[in-house]
Amino acid sequence: MVMVFLASTLAACEGALSTIDPAGPSAARVADLWWCMLGGSILLATLVFALLLVGLLRRGVADREKPGNKSVWIGWLGLAMPVTVLMVLLGFALWVGERNLPTGPAAETIEVTAYNYGWEFCYEDGSCSEDVLRIPTGRPVDLDIRATDVIHSLWIPRLAGKMDAIPGQVNRLRIQADASGTYEAVCAEYCGVGHASHRFVVEAYEAENANNLMGAAR
Amino acid sequence: MKALELHRDLTRIWKNETGWRGVFSSVSHTDLGKRFIITAAVFFGIGGVLAMLIRAQLATPQSAFAGPEVYGQIFTMHGSIMMFLFAIPMLEGLAIYLLPKILGARDLAYPRLTALGWWCYLFGGTIMILALLGGVAPDAGWFLYPPLSGREFTPGVNSDVWLLGITFVEISAICAAIEIVVTILKFRAANMSLTRMPIMAWYLLATAGMMIFGFPPLILGSILLELERAFGWPFFQPEFGGSPLLWQHLFWLFGHPEVYIIFLPAAGALSTMIPVMARTPLIGYGAIVTAVMALAFLSFGLWVHHMFTTGIPHMALGFFSAASVLVAIPTAVQVFAWIGTIWAGRPKFTLPMYYILGFFVVFVLGGLTGVMLAIVPFDQQAHDTAFVTAHLHYVLVGGFVFPMLAAAYYWMPHATGRTRVMRVGIAAFWLIFIGFNLTFLHMHLTGLLGMPRRVYTYPVEAGWTTLNLISSVGGFMQAFGFGLFAIDIALQHRLGKRTRRDPWEAETLEWAMPTPPTQYNFASLPTVDSREPLTQDRNLGARLAGGKGLLARAVDQRRETLAVDIASGAPEHVAILPGPSLIPLHTALVIGGFFLSMLLSLYWLAPVFVVATAVMVWRWAATTGTVNDAGPVNAGQGLCLPTSFDVRGSVGYWGSVLAVAASGTLFASLIFGYFFLWVVAPNWPPPGEFDAYFLEPVLVTAGALLASGGARAGLRNFRRAKPGAVLAACGLALAIAGLLLGAIRHLPGPAEHSFAAVAWTLTCYAVFSAAVGALAQLFIRGRIASGHVSARRPHECRIAAVWSDYGAGVAIIVAWLLALSGAAL
């Protein structure tokens, strides 16, 4: 079953909203993290199921006075193994998480406002656009995300993880597109009857002519 | 001959009243446990039908089956029903049915409270279902995030149905939790020390403890959101100094422990069944008990992993992420202990074993994706997508439904005295198991490909069409499997072959009784000297039926069971339990009147029902006890024990302590909310000038000290108990006056700012707690006058002191907190 899952995953990673078809450094790091965790999980699941299968088929003793070996099952498998695996995983995850944070200078900080049902983006030059976010490629861009009515969540799966838009607070998300093109985005937090179509697109422009093109587009 | 006579007498004492009245007045844990289980199964069916509607809608893109308004109600009710009307009541039903039987007792600690819990559950659940049929069901998602669920964006009663209906149902959860803890601590077989308890008792102890501390934050959140919706007190509106995040904290502070509250009883059932099926002892009893306690403790420290995308600083998230992966360790300890037990033994491939193996496959996969979701950067991608939907179904269906299906087949011969009929159960298993994985395994991929939760439709271009169609096919396959399971259970109930006692050769005491069980469980109560009393003595059941145990007597028409010392299990006293009563039904009805008048915005009517509830509780307490000094009774085997009327540490005392602990958790959550808003919410400090004030808090303190002194005087010297109780009630009345005076003179209107809203809520809570304490003391005064409380039987004074001391303490804290806040604002 797990192998079928793996095979189908490899065959079908692509998609306009696919997290495993990353187009920016942040999403790429998370996609790598996912593949590592999937591999590790398959190994662990195989181990557990194999032990269970052998345990079922081998002929143990039906004796209420003779319990099994505690130190192997509880000491090594129950405690030592998960502690080791989880410590490594946590360290790796913390490193990925820190690198995805908006630290260091950004090319631009864009004010994002989510509302029922649309998205408004206001740029440093004072211009604004609705339902289309225009960014330069190859450079980090910070989004300062707000909401005016209910909670929404800004999600551009191919570029970065999501960030909630919550009334009364500003949340910052760093995104970066490696190549020019169009990236789809959706609202990930249920926001009412229009939630399913609460979407926008990101247009990324090459750096050398970004200002001209974006200026014209804006 | 003597055994038959005993059986006849006990049957007469423990039987329900006749006719319909008997149905309404039954307080038997066997009846009520079965009612909980059957009611929960019916709600599971309703939730399942909603799940099928979801799968029908999502089977194809751009489906015209349901519009977004209807779809919002469908998915919200599916989640709410499965969590609150199925999973929690089902585990309560299992515990209520089994607990006295595995502990070797005749009933739970508070039989009438069991009945109250079931009626509240039934009425609250019915309100929710009626709302669904009327098209006004909750529609903001089962975690009901404001502002979407607030008055502005949900103007109808939809959210009120959830807030009031679920809170009504949660009364039964709190009742059950208190009852389970006290029963485990006090109602056990003679000499059943804590370390000799069946492992299930440890699981249920941890579960009930978590419920006592886990549910109050949710109840508080519901009260606050209902206050905001009904009266405009702004707790969650940032324009008035509130924060939508406060709801999320309160909700998940409950919501994550909830997952383990659901899982632990199921794990307890597994720990009970697996050694029996493997014909070998469970390995690592001590390690498992430690793991369960660690799980219960850790589960309160990781609620923020549901909030990784709300903008909380990364290092703080790292802490909660670490705590979240840590819970994998006690879980792994249990999983490997179970596999090790199977490994050591020689397993029987019975029907429960099929479902146990299904559990292993599904739950282990769910656990692995759970670790993935605890990792912050990955969660920020997967959060609120179909990946999470898949994960939570793996964990909850794997960790709860599969073990419950195994448990159903394992304990059916106990409840019915019959074995299963055909191989229908095997077919049902394969349909459920394959259907489940067909629905949810690749749904992880659907989520990774970007499909968010809670969308009623999706475009063709998104590439999720095939994946969703397969999920829908799997979903319907599961539905057939569950239908077949229900048929199989019905067949077994009607047509199953009569089985001998203890068909599984089990280890625990519930099999040392006739099946189906008698209303009194055991004709005489066991004395145990090991963890597996049946392994030691296969004839135990026959010996107990023959009256060879303790309390083999039928005296004075009294329902008796044994209460023991908490740690050692040494016999301590004979607990006298109440018989059939309509009071629980009437109490549930007046509580229901309160919730309905709130729901229908008849706010003037609600206080009437509050008073009526107080009257009912008074009557409830007044119908216990005795006016005679009975003295010790002969418990058999040379044991002479006092009755519960004559002891200081009766179950009533422990129940009050736990109820106050639950109330205190609600209070602590409210204080947390106060400081959370103060520190985190925008638009603070509130507009206007505030000064500290001293007159009122001094007044409150004086009243509270008077109350405490009055109660204490009665406890030290019974001759002062009557005037002491009056003094205590007057002191609390003074404290109430001080609290109200302070609020009226110094606080702005509650609708102006979240500060005032919280301050008024704190004041109302303190007034309520003090009023309960004052009523308890007035009650004691009446009981002394009527002779129920005497110098020989003073234990109700101790119970009243718990309530009045708590009310006094809360009054002092709230009075000074609010009086000094002014200076800091």
| Predicted confidence (pLDDT) per residue in B444-478, tens digit | 999 999 999 999 999 999 999 999 999 999 999 99
Lowest mean pLDDT among B306-310, B623-627, B747-751: B623-627
Which of B443, B466, B495 is at the close of a domain?
B495
Rounded-to-integer distance, Cα B589 and Cα B606, Å: 13
Q: Which among A41, A67, A99 is the end of a domain?
A: A99
Same structural domain, A71 and A53:
yes
Out of A100, A157, A193, the one facing B72 most closely (by C-beta) is A193
Distance CA B466, CA B445 (A): 12
Closest by CA to B258, choosing from B326, B306, B207, B205, is B207
Looking at chain B, the number of H-run helices and the number of E-run strands are 28, 4
Residues present in chain A in total: 218
Mean pLDDT in residue range B511-536 = 93
Q: What is the distance between the alpha carbons of residues B447 and B388, in angstroms, rounded to a whole number?
A: 8
Q: Which of A48, A94, A164 sits opposite B309 (nearest CB)?
A: A164
Q: Do residues B760 and B743 touch, judged by C-beta distance below 8 A?
A: yes
Question: Is B445 in the A-facing interface, judged by CB distances under 8 Å?
Answer: yes
Whether the CB-CB separation of B246 and B757 falls below 8 Å is answered with no
Q: Tell me the residues of chain A between 113 and 152 that have a Cβ less than 8 Å away from chain B.
A: 116, 149-151
Same domain, A124 and A58: no
A189–B448 C-beta distance less than 8 A: no
Q: Give the pLDDT confidence score for residue A213 in this predicted structure.
A: 59
**Does A35 touch chain B if contact means CB atoms closer than 8 Å?**
no
Average confidence score pLDDT of chain B: 95
Per residue in B357-381, pLDDT tens?
999 999 999 999 999 999 999 999 9
Contacts of residues B431-434 at CB distance under 8 Å and 24 or more positions apart, as own/partner, are B431/B477, B431/B478, B431/B480, B431/B481, B431/B484, B432/B358, B432/B405, B432/B478, B432/B481, B432/B482, B432/B485, B433/B358, B433/B361, B433/B362, B433/B481, B434/B474, B434/B477
Contacts of B516 (CB under 8 A, 6+ apart): B414, B415, B416, B417
CATH of the domain at B714: 1.20.120
Q: Which domain holds residue A46?
A: 2-9+16-99
Residue B427's contacts (CB-CB under 8 Å, 6 or more residues apart) are B484
Chain A residues whose CB is inside 8 A of the B145 CB are: 150-151, 189-190
Q: How far is A161 from chain B (nearest CA, A)?
A: 4
Residue to mutate among A4, A83, A158, A166, with most B CBs inside 10 A, is A166
Query: Which residues are CB-neighbours of B615 under 8 A, at least 6 positions away?
Result: none
In a domain, residue B124? The reply is yes
Cβ-Cβ contacts under 8 Å, B310 against chain A: 164, 166, 171
B385 DSSP assignment? B
- B68 domain-assigned: yes
Q: What is the C-alpha separation between A48 and A40, in angstroms, rounded?
A: 12
Among B676, B758, B675, B754, residue whose Cα is nearest residue B304:
B676
Domain ends where: A70, A99, A128?
Answer: A99
Task: State the pLDDT confidence band at B216, using cuts at 50, 70 and 90.
Answer: very high
Q: Give residues 236 to 265 of B whose Cβ lies within 8 Å of A.
A: 237-239, 242-245
Q: Are A126 and A189 within one domain?
A: yes
Binding-face residues of B in 352-411 toward A, CB within 8 A: 357, 360-361, 364-365, 368-369, 371-372, 375-385
Nearest to A16 among B141, B381, B461 (CB): B461
What 8-state DSSP symbol labels residue B643? Answer: B
Do the domain assignments include residue B12? yes
**Mean pLDDT (whole number) for B63-76:** 94
**CB-closest option in A58, A67, A96 to B280:** A67
Question: Contact B364/B441 with Cβ under 8 angstroms?
Answer: no
Distance from CA of A66 to the nearest CA of B (A): 7
Centroid of chain to Cα B356: 25
CA distances from A161 to A20, A27, A166, B278 (A): 12, 7, 16, 46
pLDDT in tens, B389-429: 999 999 999 999 999 999 999 999 999 999 887 688 999 99
- Inter-chain CB pairs, A–B, below 8 Å: 299
As a whole number of angstroms, the distance between CA B655 and CA B177 comes to: 10
> Do residues A127 and A75 both lie within one domain?
no
B199 part of a folded domain: yes
Q: Between residues 58 and 117 of chain B, which touch chain A (CB distance below 8 Å)?
A: 67-69, 72
Chain A residues with CB inside 8 Å of B152's CB?
Answer: 149
Contact of A89 with chain B, judged by CB distance below 8 Å, is answered with: yes
- CA-CA distance, A44 to A51, in Å (whole number)? 11
CATH number of the structural domain spanning residue A164: 2.60.40.420
**CA nearest neighbour of B219 among B718, B668, B618, B698:** B668
Q: Decide if B310 and A79 are in contact by the 8 Å CB cutoff.
A: no
In three-state secondary structure terms, A171 is strand
Angle at B339 between CA B335 and CA B341, to 5 degrees: 115
Cα–Cα distance, B328 to A86 (Å, whole number): 9
Question: What is the token pair recorded at B541?
Answer: 């059941």
Residue B800 lies in domain: 685-824
Whichever domain contains B220, its CATH number is 1.20.210.10
Position B638 in a domain: no
3-state secondary structure of B401: helix
Q: How do A141-147 and A108-115 pair as beta strands?
A: parallel
- Whether A121 and A95 map to the same domain: the answer is no
Give me the residue label for tokens 């003090």.
B770
pLDDT of res. B646 = 86
A94 and A122 belong to one structural domain: no
β-pairing, A132-136 with A163-165?
unpaired
The domain boundary, picked from A79, A99, A119, lies at A99
Question: Is A100–B377 a contact, with Cβ atoms under 8 angstroms apart?
Answer: yes
A82, A119: one domain: no
Q: Quick one: B275 exposed, middle or buried, by C-beta within 10 A (0-12, 13-18, 19+)?
A: buried
CB atoms < 10 A from the CB of B627, how many? Answer: 12
Spatial contact of A155 and A149, defined as CB atoms under 8 Å apart: no
Note the pLDDT tens digit of each residue in B303-351. 999 999 999 998 899 999 999 999 999 999 999 999 999 999 999 999 9
pLDDT at position B150, please?
96
Are A94 and A112 contained in the same domain? no
Q: Does A69 touch chain B (CB under 8 A)?
A: yes
User: Does some domain include residue B178?
Assistant: yes
Q: How far is A207 from chain B (nearest CA, A)?
A: 27
Cis peptide before B354 (omega within 30 of 0): no
CB neighbour list of residue A88: distance below 8 Å, 6 or more residues apart: none
Q: If you measure CA to CA, which chain B residue comes closest to A158?
A: B450
Among A73, A81, A167, the residue with its CB nearest the CB of B340 is A73
Please tell me whether residues A53 and A126 are part of one structural domain.
Answer: no
- Cβ contact B485:B409 at 8 Å: no
Distance from CA of A172 to the nearest CA of B (A): 7
Number of structural domains (chain B) is 2
A123 with A84, same domain: the answer is no
What Cα–Cα distance (Å) separates residue B657 from each residue in A78, B213, B663, B690, B798?
A: 36, 13, 10, 37, 10
Last residue of a domain, one of B495, B512, B541: B495
- Say yes or no: A47 contacts chain B, CB-CB below 8 A: no
Cα separation, A195 vs B158, in Å, equals 18
* Domain end (from B474, B495, B516): B495
User: Is a pLDDT exceeding 90 seen at residue B177?
Assistant: yes
Tens of pLDDT along chain A (218 residues) come to 555 665 665 567 889 999 999 999 999 999 999 999 999 999 999 999 999 999 999 888 777 777 777 888 988 888 999 999 999 999 988 888 888 888 888 999 999 999 999 999 999 999 999 999 999 999 999 999 999 999 999 999 999 999 999 999 999 999 999 999 999 999 999 999 999 999 999 999 986 665 665 666 55
CA dihedral B196, B199, B203, B208 (to 10 degrees): -40
Name chain A contacts of B281, Cβ cutoff 8 Å. 64-67
What total number of domains does chain A contain?
A: 2
What is the rounded distance in angstroms from the CA atom of residue B382 to the CA atom of residue B384?
Answer: 6
User: Would you say B687 and B753 are in contact if contact means Cβ atoms under 8 Å apart?
Assistant: yes
Q: For all residues of chain A together, what is the average pLDDT?
A: 89
Residue B226 identity: E
Residues linked to residue A128 through DSSP beta bridges, in sequence order: A122
A88 and A155 share a domain? no
Instruction: Specify if B643 maps to a domain.
Output: no
Q: What is the largest CA-CA distance in chain B?
A: 84
With CB atoms and an 8 Å threshold, state whether A73 touches B284.
yes
Gap between the Cα atoms of B331 and B185, Å rounded? 25
What integer pLDDT is reported at residue B595 of this predicted model? Answer: 97
Distance CA A155, CA B815 (A): 46
Nearest CA to CA, how far is B577 from chain A (Å)?
37
A137 lies in the same domain as A210: yes
Residue of A nearest to B68 (CA): A193
Q: Is the peptide bond before B516 cis (omega within 30 degrees of 0)?
A: yes
Q: Is residue B503 part of a domain?
A: no
Q: Tell me whether B328 touches chain A (CB under 8 Å).
A: yes
